[in-house]
Structure 1
Amino acid sequence: MMQQYMETKKEYPDCILFYRLGDFYEMFFEDALTASKALDITLTGRDCGLEERAPMCGVPYHAVDSYLYKLVQQGYKVAIAEQMEEPGQAKGLVKREVIRVVTPGTITSSQALDETKNNYLMGIVYLDGVYGIAASDISTGDFVVTEVDSDRELFDEINKFSPSEIICNHAFYMSGVDAEELKNRYHAVVSALDPRFFGDESCRKALREHFHVGALSGLGLEDYGTGIIAAGAVMQYIYETQKSTLEHITTITPYSTGQYMVIDTSTRRNLELVETMREKQKRGTLLWVLDKTKTAMGARLLRTYIEQPLIYKEEIIRRQAAVEELNMNYISREEICEYLNPIYDLERLMGRISYKTANPRDLIAFKNSLEMLPHIKGILGEFSSALLKELEAEMDPLEDMCRLIDEAILEEPPITIREGGMIKDGYNEEADRLRHAKTEGKTWLGELESREREKTGIKTLKVKFNKVFGYYFEVTNSFKNQVPAYFIRKQTLTNAERYTTDELKDLEDIIMGAEDRLVSLEYELFCQVRDSIASQVLRIQRTAKAVAGVDVFCSLSGVATRRNYVKPQINEKGVIQIKNGRHPVVEQMMRDDLFVANDTFLDNGKNRLSVITGPNMAGKSTYMRQVALIVLMAQLGSFVPAQEADIGICDRIFTRVGASDDLASGQSTFMVEMTEVANILRNATKNSLLVLDEIGRGTSTFDGLSIAWSVIEYISSPRLLGAKTLFATHYHELTELEGSIAGVKNYCIAVKEQGDDIVFLRKIVRGGADKSYGIQVAKLAGVPDTVIARAKEIAQELSNADITARAREIAEISSSVTPHKAVPKPDEVDMQQLTFFDTVKDDDIIRELDELELSTMTPLDAMNTLYRLQTRLKNRWKENQ
């Protein structure tokens, strides 16, 4: 047996081998040492023909799922070697084979998976500067493929799917992407596969054969050359690990990243769409607010909607119409929810049925779910919106499947399928006969005994049983002369004789073999029922998707009516106008219902960029996130928390909110901040929404102010970017940009002063704040009075060196002198023009600039020098005019 184990282990060296021995899965040698620590189970030993006993540990077969989950969660792969024949029927050593390999991306146990989110296996292939991406959830049958051109887009896709396992080609490691970063950031197991998985022809063949097509153009994959290899590698990997036909993976969906709003990793984190930044919990997220779904399928689909908002107006309006009609038919919506509530996870149930791992209770759960479908379909037939009518048409009542299970399977069957007791009476004649023989055997024996006693006249005749001879008639010696000729002697005792008859033999065969044959027959019948359901996988998956869609729209409708959300207008003019908007999460977290609503107006013209000032804790970040979330909600088809809303479709939302050191990669707070700003400036478009909070605060005041100023100039320039932007800052000098830079408007958080104390009114009003109230906020936070008093003294001294006036001068120079030419904007600089030093070598200002020792100047010296030189230059220009 140990030789058989070692031969099997050689085939799966990177896996922990679960080796079936009776009622346990055993592990030996290094696997035992590893598993005993990972699972916290007892390590023992076993003689194996070596000098030392082999380390050994094991887990019971009936509880294997929980142990598998623990190992897979820790990143291990597990190969399951099962007994392929009954020990009593085996000639010699019981035959064993690995029936599947369980990895983080291929685990299907309901105990191991979160029913509200998909468990994706992702394949990434890097070829010629292109990343092919394929993601499959084998528990539901979902399978998608795409391509991207940059590592940042790749990270966005990885973040969108949050795969638990990533497989890749070796070239991926050479593309510049850090595999360790993937593991740390996404908690995914990353492994490079053998090159044989990534052959172009083998990948194409795997896809053609699985989806039964002659050419991949029939799957819509002709434009995804690298994506085809990624998808083919995933398919081959699943086949090799699962050793199954994978019949429930019926479709592969190619998509372009341009089909949906782009939400990068930072924005997903900052807006807390599906998990909070700190606790990584659902509570406190947008998903938590919107998710009132009744089914696991609906919960997964809603998560997908949130992570992939739409950018096409027509589809957004279709979703809105569905939500609106459900709002107007409150009673029907609640009735649908009542019918949705008992529905189990049809997608994953179907996965287990196709995998042939579903047990009788799974089928009963499946049947109970199907019983709800005709009721839901009937109610949906009363609606008129296009999307709800489509969902009603897609929903198959599956009455034949429901009827089959109802006729075949007991309502309360056992969990296991090898012990019988799961097939109903009346479903199969042979099963009924065997069941009858099992239960009525004693009665039949008693009746035979009475008949033979009466026929022979032997009053002491009895039917008895032992394990050696089975059933027999026992006759005492005083009556053996009355034994009839058709009695066949089996055994002679001192005081009695034992006999059998043909009728008793037949009865014995029926009774003795009935239980074993019944268990075997019930297993066969159950497998037939399960296979019959598996053959209808397309119908069932289509219906499951329809149920999920209905569930999502009922959830969005329920939230909209309970939270007083309104249907936003959708425009393609670039206007975002929100009246009395509210933060959906903060509003729900507040118990006193005192959330202060605020208005927002952004467009592509005079109101492109809002500079928002005000003290910390006053609500700037909440307000800006609120706007971003309302836009996102509108584009996923939801109603929004506002009195009125008109939302211009945004192709992307970028946020730069908060900062933290990335110690793992050696990046400081400021470096992280600047990296994110660089990403925004390089990838945003005029149709994007930017939310920027405290740009430049991670460095010195002058450097930070300069960077923030320059960023505003760049964003506000229609020729460079021109994106709609909310820009919160503590640099009050930036309020001077209104009027000097087109499209910039000032807003601030209203604050009420009461002596040395302040009250945050949390209302956004036009105009800029004249101070930060930092000392007052410090007082609110409990900083000692002595520190507060000294801070006031220092603040008074520093106010004499205030740079606001100088900033105003710079802004005036930028806007008034030789209109828009005195200080060239980035988009107005001709990179081919000659420098000042080439043309005006004898100018005194140029000479002074040339002689400056910048390496020895402090930032304050530099600012003062710049101010002095600009003043001289301004005076000279005025004289020339």
Structure 2
Amino acid sequence: MAAAYTPMIQQYLRVKAEYQDAFLFFRLGDFYEMFFEDAINASQELEITLTSREGGSEDRIPMCGVPYHSAPNYIEQLVEKGYKVAICEQTEDPKQAKGVVRREVVQLITPGTMMEGRGLNENENNFIASITSFKDETFGFIYNDLSTGETKATILTEGFDAVLNELSLSGAKEIVISSDFEGGWQKKIKERSIMTISIEDEIEPKEGFLPLLTDLTQDKLRKTASRLFNYLYRTQKRSLDHLQNVSLYQINQFMKIDYFSKRNLELTETIRSKGKKGSLLWLLDETKTAMGSRLLKQWVDRPQIDEKEITRRHTVVETLITNFYEREEIREKLKEVYDLERLAGRVAFGNVNARDLVQLKKSLQQIPSLKAMVNNLPNEIVSAEAERLDGCEEVADILEQAIVENPPLSIKDGNLIQDGYHEELDRFRDATRNGKTWIAQLEKQEREKTGIKSLKVGYNRVFGYYIEVTKSNLHLLTEGQYDRKQTLTNAERFITPELKEKEALILQAEEKAVELEYQLFAEVREHIKGYIPRLQKLAKIISEIDVLQCFAVVSEQRHYVKPSFSKERKIVLKDGRHPVVEKVMNAQEYVPNDCYMDGEREVLLITGPNMSGKSTYMRQVALTAILGQIGCYVPASEAVLPIFDQVFTRIGAADDLISGQSTFMVEMLEAKNAIVNATQDSLILFDEIGRGTSTYDGMALAQAIIEYIHHRIGAKTLFSTHYHELTVLEESLEQLKNVHVSAVEQNGKVVFLHKIKEGAADKSYGIHVAQLAELPEELIVRANEILIGLEQTGKEPGQKTIPILNPPNESMAEPKQIQEPKGQLSFFEELKIEKKQTFNVKEKKVIEQLKTLEILDMTPMEALNALYELHKKLK
């Protein structure tokens, strides 16, 4: 069938066959054209006109195209939507081609390999990740930012959930896997995030990448890294000299924050808007450089657990806080430093322009004074950082000598290189400038000679230089004075032998000057490549200084305090605040709260009305711990914290519609993740566990979860609930303490005090909250009537008995597998729904005694206690 097409379309089809998963931008003259399905899809995605053309077959071929000069904008639109774009260029001069001009794909642009443009957020890394699965059920995981060259890799041994968590932390926009990668895993990846999936089966390291693997001794890591590097080399088809050595990390080197907890705590984006505003990152980001902003996000994603490193950061922050004027000078100087990481990447990649190099020069020129400012700070750690600041003076010098201060955007149109930099270029420019001076003088001379004031000497690319005379003035010329060159509607254009000779000289000099300038620019760019490792090292140091000064600014402005760390796993927070809520609210309106936990207060059971601040209180404890462990001060007047290895949160409710999971299933999965993975050194926040099912099921699950954490894990746990019946657990669980968010009732309406106090809340005030929400008055009155009835009878509507709380299972305190109760669950279920026809002897005794017990005259809690005592006797 392909033989029926023209040679050019056949060429297109051959290239397209190798890039089936990408839009093929096929260069034809000044346009990139697309054909067949690519044309149809591109016309819809880009909203451009779909046309057709003869292709040699009977039917016309669908076709659409975009101009060469505006292609980057269209490519960005496609890549932002998750597509790939293959750029197919003409690789030979059409004048020298025999037959169809040779064309080849010179680059495959994908979501994970963007190097410039709108799709590359300067404050965020643009990671591409790769996963390799091994037979022993471990996974190699690696991620790279092509724009900065940084690469990090690890081996994951905790199953595919750990892989999903690393993917979410990296925020990778593209993932590279093998063609036989497990389909179920691919499905989970797609459920978790919008991500482009690409295939690379070659895992043998190529010679050019071996230096990058020097720190990877494990064969698994080398294969994982080679898969990603081979994909990058195959798609980018150019030098990747800026890629840095692979940095090996282990997930237990940092505080683990799983996907659910990161989302629930809104560390880097909010749940509702999916944007940065309102997140912890939004609060903190007072950085002055793009690379500092990116490093800040990495620190928030992966807080430290190394107390020595945390203390080092706090020491620098303290120095910057106490030296206000020096810090402000440093901040002002950082403003003038451009994105060194990405500038270095563009130099290596070959897409750097002259304006980029001017930015690089200006950045390097700030380093000497920045170094002096940092060195003046009275701290040995800070001074050591200053000594590591390498200004790469050689690079700044050559750029100062070579590149003009305000160069054009294009690097192929000349006017890039400074006068005096290259002798031959100066000669060409002199010839051009002198020639143009001669032309200006010629125009003046000919006007005087002919008396034609409107006579002009002009130039265009097609006809070169010419003398133009309007037709109304032609009579003023003598016969044969000029040689006719071109006739226009209202004028004639002429040439003279002398002008023709000067034209050749000027145009030749201009053409040679432009060619030489591009050559000189390429030489400068190539020279700078040798400094890329030094530039990248400099960028890392400046980024860290930027983040630490940012912590100092936030800590001082918001009156944060330097935390200390407790070996006894003690939490002492006085006047603790939720950092983001405090910023959004007026600081005077925010009600601070204390939090105290130690070996005798491992679990805080928090009760109180809706909207009173239980969730905010829980979140602020977690956010305070995270702030402390990234190196920032914390929102309190006094703070003592343990170093947490993990933070788990279950706050709020949301269906996971993509994977078909209900609110309650999501709740249980998040609870399971914490219960299975938490250690004694973890922090657990559980908000309203069990509310997604029936009252009795929910209460039973909530109590069982509390007991399990208390007996088996021992993690610091904040557990908020509306199940007031659970507050009796304080009597049986030694390390559990009741606290509540206080509220008062005034004139029939609830007033939230937002203050945490010892003990259990007296009631939930749920109907009061409904009243605040302005539900119809008739509905509120009826709800109060129903509530009074339920409180008097202790029954749910339709129930014939009251709920029975199981006693704490004391055997859980022993470190052995929990056995599912035999007979006990069915026993209570039968009592509740009374549908069994026959009963055993023990059950008959309970039923008889229930009949004689005046349950309806008791409060619900009295009835529960009575039934509990009764059941204990029968056992």
Q: Secondary structure at the match of 2:190?
A: helix
Q: Report the Cα offset of residue 269 of structure 1.
A: 0.4
The answer to whether the 8 A contact 1:290-1:559 is kept is: yes
Shift of 1:53: 2.8
Out of 353, 364, 371, the residue aligned to residue 370 of structure 1 is: 364
2:310 corresponds to: 316
The CA distance in 2 between the partners of 1:852 and 1:16, in whole Å, is 74
SS at match of 2:510: helix
- Aligned-residue identity in percent: 43
CA-to-aligned-CA distance 1:535-575 (integer Å, 9 cap, x gap)? 21101101111111111111111111111111111223211
Q: Which residue, out of 8, 18, 21, partners 1:14?
A: 21
Distance 1:437 1:90 in 2: 34
Match in the other structure for 2:424: 430
TM-superposed CA distance for 1:499, in Å, is 11
* Preserved contact between residue 343 and residue 356 of structure 2 (Cα < 8 Å): yes
Relative distance call for 1:379 and 1:793 in structure 2 (3 A) is same
Q: How many residues align?
A: 803
**1:771-811 superposed Cα distances (whole Å, 9 cap, x missing partner):** 1011111111101111111111111111124489x999968
- The aligned residue for residue 475 of structure 2 is none
Please name the residue that 1:457 is paired with.
none
Mapped pair 1:32 → 2:27:
no
- 1:402 corresponds in structure 2 to 396
2:250 matched residue in structure 1: 256
CA offsets, 1:494-534, max 9 Å, x none? xxxx9989xx9986653231111111111001111111112
Alpha-carbon deviation of 1:851? 11
Which moves more between the two structures, 398-407 or 640-649?
A: 398-407
Partner SS for 1:800 = helix
**Is the CA contact 1:65–1:111 (under 8 Å) kept in the aligned structure 2?**
no
Q: 1:306 to 1:449 in 2, by over 3 A?
A: closer
SS at match of 1:166: strand
- TM-score normalised to structure 1 length: 0.85
Task: Letter of the 1:739 partner, please give it.
Answer: E
Instruction: Give the equivalent residue in structure 2 for 1:487.
Output: none
For 2:168 and 2:873, how far apart are their aligned partners in 1?
Answer: 55
Matched, 1:352 2:346: yes
- The reply to whether residue 602 of structure 1 matches residue 597 of structure 2 is yes
Any stretches of 5+ residues in structure 1 without a counterpart? 451-462, 473-490, 492-497, 815-821, 838-843, 854-859
Residue of structure 2 aligned with 1:236, choices 230, 241, 254:
230
Q: Which residue of 2 aligns with 1:135?
A: 143
Q: Does 1:411 align with 2:405?
A: yes
What's the secondary structure of 1:824's corresponding residue? helix
Q: 1:158 aligns with which of 162, 167, 178?
A: 167
- Matched-pair contact (CA < 8 Å) for 1:733–1:807: no
Deviations 1:398-443 (A, max 9, x none): 2221121121111111111111111111111111111111121155
Partner of 2:758: 766
Could you tell me how far 1:285 is from its partner in structure 2? 0.3
SS state at 1:514 partner = helix
- Are the counterparts in 1 of residues 741 and 757 from structure 2 also a CA contact under 8 Å? yes
**1:734-756, CA deviations, whole angstroms, 9 ceiling, x for partnerless residues?**
11111311100010001122131
- Pairing partner for 1:285 from 279, 283, 290: 279
* Amino acid of the structure 1 residue aligned with 2:331: C
The amino acid that maps onto 1:871 is: E
| Aligned match for 1:779, one of 768, 771, 778 | 771
Q: Which residue of 2 aligns with 1:550?
A: 545
**In the aligned structure 2, how far is the partner of 1:832 from the partner of 1:331?**
64
Task: Quote the offset at 1:715 in angstroms.
Answer: 0.7
* Counterpart in the other structure of 2:811: 824
Cα 1:88/1:572, change in 2 over 3 Å? farther
Q: How does 1:730-809 map to 2 (within 5 A)?
A: 730-802=722-794
Q: 1:238 to 1:849 in 2, by over 3 A?
A: farther
Q: CA deviation at 1:869?
A: 6.9
CA separation in 2, counterparts of 1:468 and 1:597? 79
Distance in 2 separating the partners of 1:739 and 1:408:
80
Change (3 A) 1:279 1:851: farther
Distance (whole Å) between structure 2 residues aligned to residue 438 and residue 183 of structure 1: 60
Distance 1:595 1:17, change over 3 A: same
Distance 1:464 1:575 in 2: 84
Aligned to 1:653: 647
Equivalent residue runs for 1:431-470 within 5 Å: 431-443=425-437
Q: Which amino acid aligns with 1:792?
A: N
Check 1:464–1:109 CA distance in 2 against 1; reply closer, same or farther (3 A cut).
Answer: closer
Q: 2:294, 2:127 → 1: CA distance? A: 12
The answer for the alignment partner of 1:209 in structure 2 is 208
Q: CA deviation at 1:48?
A: 2.8
Aligned to 1:559: 554
Distance 2:431 2:695 in 1: 92
State the 1:110 CA deviation. Answer: 3.2
SS of 1:524 mapped into structure 2: helix
Deviation at 1:49, TM superposition (A): 2.3
- Over 3 Å counting, the alpha-carbon distance change for 1:443 and 1:865 in structure 2 is closer
- Residue of structure 2 equivalent to 1:460: none
Question: What is the CA distance between 1:645 and its match in structure 2?
Answer: 0.3
Contact 2:211 2:245 survives alignment (8 Å)? no
Query: In 2, are the aligned partners of 1:655 and 1:692 still within 8 Å (CA)?
Result: yes
1:47 pairs, out of 38, 54, 76, with 54
What is the CA-CA distance between 1:598 and the residue it aligns to?
0.4
- Deviation (angstroms), 1:300: 0.3
| Aligned-partner residue type, residue 662 of structure 1 | D
Counterpart of 1:789 in structure 2: which amino acid? V
Corresponding position of 2:377: 383
**Correspondences of 1:652-731 after superposition (within 5 Å):** 652-717=646-711, 720-731=712-723
Q: Contact 1:65/1:112 (CA < 8 Å) preserved in 2?
A: no
* Distance 1:62-1:384 versus aligned 2 partners, 3 A rule: farther
Distance 1:556 1:521 in 2: 49
The 3 A distance-change label for structure 1 pair 182 and 809 is closer
Task: Tell me how far 1:388 sits from its aligned partner.
Answer: 2.7
Unaligned runs of 5+ in 2: 1-7, 445-456, 468-484, 486-494, 825-837, 848-854
In structure 2, C-alpha distance between the alignment counterparts of 1:721 and 1:84, rounded to whole Å: 65
Q: Per-residue deviation at 1:81? A: 1.2
Which residue identity lines up with residue 583 of structure 1 in the other structure? H
SS of corresponding position for 1:132: strand
- From 145, 148, 151, give the equivalent of 2:153: 145
SS at match of 1:664: coil
Q: How well do the aligned residues superpose, as a CA RMSD in angstroms?
A: 3.5
Q: Does 1:637 align with 2:653?
A: no
Report deviation, 1:147.
Answer: 1.4
**Aligned residues of 2:696 and 2:803 also touching (Cα < 8 A):** no
Deviation at 1:470, TM superposition (A): 9.7
**For residues 757 and 268 of structure 2, what CA distance do their matches in structure 1 show?**
31
The CA distance in 2 between the partners of 1:699 and 1:810, in whole Å, is 16
Q: Secondary structure at the match of 2:181?
A: helix
**Preserved contact between residue 122 and residue 135 of structure 1 (Cα < 8 Å):** yes
Instruction: Report how far residue 370 of structure 1 moved.
Output: 1.7
**Residues 800-854 of structure 1: CA distance to partner in whole angstroms, max 9, x if unpaired?**
24489x999968x65xxxxxxx8533637788999999xxxxxx9974359999x
1:871 and 2:869 correspond: yes
Counterparts in 2 of 1:468 and 1:798: CA distance versus 1, 3 Å: closer
- Distance change (3 Å), C-alpha of 1:755 and 1:835: closer
For the 8 Å contact 1:123–1:230, the answer to whether it is kept is: yes
The answer for the alignment partner of 2:82 in structure 1 is 75
Q: Residue in 2 aligned with 1:494?
A: none
Q: Is the 8 A contact 2:804 2:864 kept in 1?
A: no
CA distance in 1 between counterparts of 2:265 and 2:458 reads 79
- Shift in CA distance, 527/26, structure 1 to aligned 2, threshold 3 Å: same
Inter-partner Cα distance in structure 1 for 2:534 and 2:523: 18
The residue aligned with 1:589 is 584
Contact 1:142–1:249 (CA<8 Å) still a contact in 2? Answer: yes
